[in-house]
Amino acid sequence: MLAMESISQLDRPGAPWLRRRGDASPALVMCIVCAGVVLASLDLFIVNVALPDIARDLHQRDLSTLSWVLNAYAIVYAAALVLLGRLSEGRRRENGFLLGVAVFTLASAACGAAPDLAVLVAFRIVQAVGAALLTPTSLSLVLATTAPQRRHSSVRAWTAVGGLAAALGPVVGGLLVTASWRWVFYVNVPIGLLALVVGWLRLPRVPGHPVPRPDAIGAVLVTTGAAVLTLGLVEGNDWGWANVRTVVALAVAVAALAAFARRCARHSSPLIDAALFRVRAFSGSSLVAVVFSVAFAAMLFSRASWPASGRPRRAEAQQGRAR
């Protein structure tokens, strides 16, 4: 959606909007940017299967705390995606993409070397920021280097690559954890470095265009609301659903998300255009995507985290019988 808004800028007759560094073809540009998309999409699900090994290696038996390895990435990625996409429209797209890949690659290396869970979660947040920057700029580069009559097929190919990477995440993760859970993150480093080198040499220069300043306060509100809502739902069983902390967390989440919806309806440059949800095709497909994503992520997390929570309890039960 963000990249589509700039198509009119790319199609102006005689506009020198594309100045190439080399002779990169649309196919090569697609390959370069899809390497970045694979990184961002893969990390949404690849870490699920590594949770039991992470729990054992970092001596973490609290499943609710361990889940923030996944939650932190998903929340920040979703919340920052539109904001960084809007900001990147005013600047050169290839620079935004390369910066996003660089941030993601460095954060992946730091995640792999993390000595404890707090450091791992912190760098997962940095990973998400890099992913949120490289995703919209990658689509902008695809649109800028593709002929108008072929843009629909290019967007479908770009989307399919991201979906395939997400689907392969658990499979790839299962293979990597046989060596070490740290390779779930280290595997991103060579891919990211290759995308950086080839992208720096071959990606075309695609300048930005003036855009309204996006609603940064709205981004803060939706991030806060999603994070606090997740905190209340994740910790509710341990704290108790009637506990003051749970009630306050859920109340703050509702207030923040309500304020975000209000700003989207009234702001001159909203983070999400409320008019989109009046389009039945968009609202219907969005609802289906949400239901599917929630169910798929819950299934993966429950299957992958069972050993992390089940084995210690089973061992304790066996020790109790031995006594």
The residue that leads in pLDDT, 254 or 286, is 254
Q: For position 14, what pLDDT does the model report?
A: 35
SS3 205: strand
The residue that leads in pLDDT, 21 or 228, is 228
CA–chain centroid gap for 249, Å, is 24
pLDDT class of 23 with cuts at 50, 70, 90? low
Q: Where are the beta strands (DSSP E) in 177-298?
A: none
59: left (phi over 0), alpha (psi -120 to 50) or beta: left
CA angle 271, 152, 139 (to 5 degrees): 45
Q: For position 8, what pLDDT does the model report?
A: 43
Q: What six digits make up the tokens of 97?
A: 């993409």
Strand-pairing partners, residue 89, are none
Q: For position 275, what pLDDT does the model report?
A: 79
Nearest CA among 204, 274, 262, 215 for reference residue 86: 215
Q: By the 8 A CB rule, do 11 and 144 touch? A: no
Strand-pairing partners, residue 236, are none
184 HSE (CA, 13 A, CB side): 31
Cβ count near 103 (within 10 Å): 20
Question: How many whole angstroms separate alpha carbon 105 and alpha carbon 127?
Answer: 8
Please state the domain extents for the chain: 4-10+25-212
Q: By the 8 A CB rule, do 107 and 72 touch? A: no
Q: For position 34, what pLDDT does the model report?
A: 87
Q: Where are the beta strands (DSSP E) in 15-98?
A: none
pLDDT > 90 in the chain, percent:
23
The residue that leads in pLDDT, 1 or 264, is 264
pLDDT class of 133 with cuts at 50, 70, 90? very high
Q: What is the pLDDT of residues 49-89, one digit of tens each?
A: 888 889 889 888 777 788 889 888 988 888 888 788 888 87
pTM given for the model = 0.79
Nearest CA among 152, 143, 151, 192 for reference residue 38: 192
pLDDT class of 319 with cuts at 50, 70, 90? very low
Q: What six digits make up the tokens of 133?
A: 């920057």
Q: For position 24, what pLDDT does the model report?
A: 65
Q: Nearest 5°: phi and psi at 3?
A: -70, -35
Q: For position 166, what pLDDT does the model report?
A: 77
- For the domain with range 4-10+25-212, which CATH number is right: 3.40.50.800, 3.10.310.10, 3.40.50.11540, 1.20.1250.20? 1.20.1250.20
**Overall average pLDDT of the 98-122 stretch:** 94
**Element containing residue 9 per DSSP (H, E):** helix 7-10
